[in-house]
Structure 1
Amino acid sequence: MTTGGTCRVPECDTLVADAHVCAQCAHRLTIALDDVADLADELDVSLSRQSRRGGRVGARSAEVPLPFDVGASIVRAALVETLATWARVLSGDVLADLPGIDTPASAAAWLAERVEEIRHHVDGGHLVDEVIAAVEGARDEVHGPRSGASILAGQCPRCGQPVYARQGAPTARCRREGCAGGVDVEAWRADALAALADAVLPAADVVRALAAVGHPVEAGTLRSWVARGHLATADHQGAGGRARYRVADALTLARTRRHQGKIAS
């Protein structure tokens, strides 16, 4: 049985009389689910291209996961796992494999057929939030980063499921049923920053890295830093001789821009 009140999607304060998710958030979910098939295809194309050229510069061992994707694989994996997990939660059996949800498109279609049911599910707000965050992560990978209400904060240390956090949240907890795992977002970012200290990446990957560790900048901003001499080129050894930049240098500029406003965008 459902009760009225405020929509349970984080940061939505819309009043609802007979559900846990408001109609507007349900509509946002529908749009996100409709985009999944095309986004998954684009990610597959990106992965195929990377495979042909032997992997992107800057890729690291899976034993040291970073909070951004330099090869599209982590974004696609998070999308797949998020869709499949919530489909199982909605079905009432987290542990059982549901037939017909073995691809992002099929899992999204399965959920799209049950949007009204999601509105009345006690965890519907979390479902909407995390699915939209996963889809936005895929959009960022395909179309370029943008600020979002939720970000991929890491992997649950207990079950390995992608964990999402609100922008600025200090911690994030796993929402898989029966799992009490949690991620210390700041500690995870600190580990990532340490791993990235000497990383030298193409401009697009630098932008992704900055967004993932909480200092998002537009691609145009980074280009302006280069043009104005604020960000020096580290080398030209990337694929096709593309210029690469030190992540630590870009991070220093991003922090300065955010906190002091001294670097013009």
Structure 2
Amino acid sequence: MHDQPCRLCPPTRSNPVRSGGDACPSCVRKFVEDIRRIPDLMRQLDVTITRTDVVGQRGLGGPSGDDVQPLAFNLRASDSREEVRLVLRRAAAPVPFAPTALPPAVAATAVLRRLPAEMRRPGCAAWIRGITAVLTKAWGSVDQPAAFRFAGRCQGCGATVFAAELQAAVRCRACEAEHDVRQHTAWMREAAEDQWMSAEDMARVLPWFDGAPVKAATIRKWESRGKLEGMSRVGDDGRRQYRVGDILAVHREQRRRLTLSAAA
């Protein structure tokens, strides 16, 4: 069997592949390193999601559209988190089996177990490239060092404040005022739960709040069955909106019932 060029290496310095696949050992080792960093990537995305990123309607206010405030979460990072979760599930499932609902860390381990078999197949490079593209995009959504997280804005001067993971209080770098990290984090979460969003946007951010996604179609089904009576309104764009906190309450109750039913 003739050596084949690696389809992941740059064309000018492509390494030979002798396993029957199309990915060289050097590129595979880099891929393994990327997969082993999945737990850290998910932690980083969770931190980034809590950073203010977009503007949305205030929970209370008139219909004029002037009463707006930043949302207390980063939709770009939330989307990346969901993309990583889905691509890992698909990559972990051996053909012809359908993907199963695995946590990202478990799915990453399954991908590593599947890797030796994939290396012997001609489509290995495309398989690796598809996963790597999603991971690279997700790392691009992470904008803070691992040791720090967004902790709100200083009440004294309005400057952005960051704190280490276990810090309960820090001083604002701009004005030296004391900043209560835990209190501000609680305020940000409360403010986020008071936001009104469409079913589609809600489905994108719910994993940050409760660790479990819910489909937009499911939210609309809850409303059609009367579970969201008095919990929705029509936004300025004509779309039906729901309060994050209300959807979370229904979502958690549904999960609780499913857990009880499974244990019965």
The two structures share one fold, judged by TM-score above 0.5: no
Give the greater-gyration-radius structure (CA). 2
Q: TM-score, normalised by structure 2?
A: 0.42
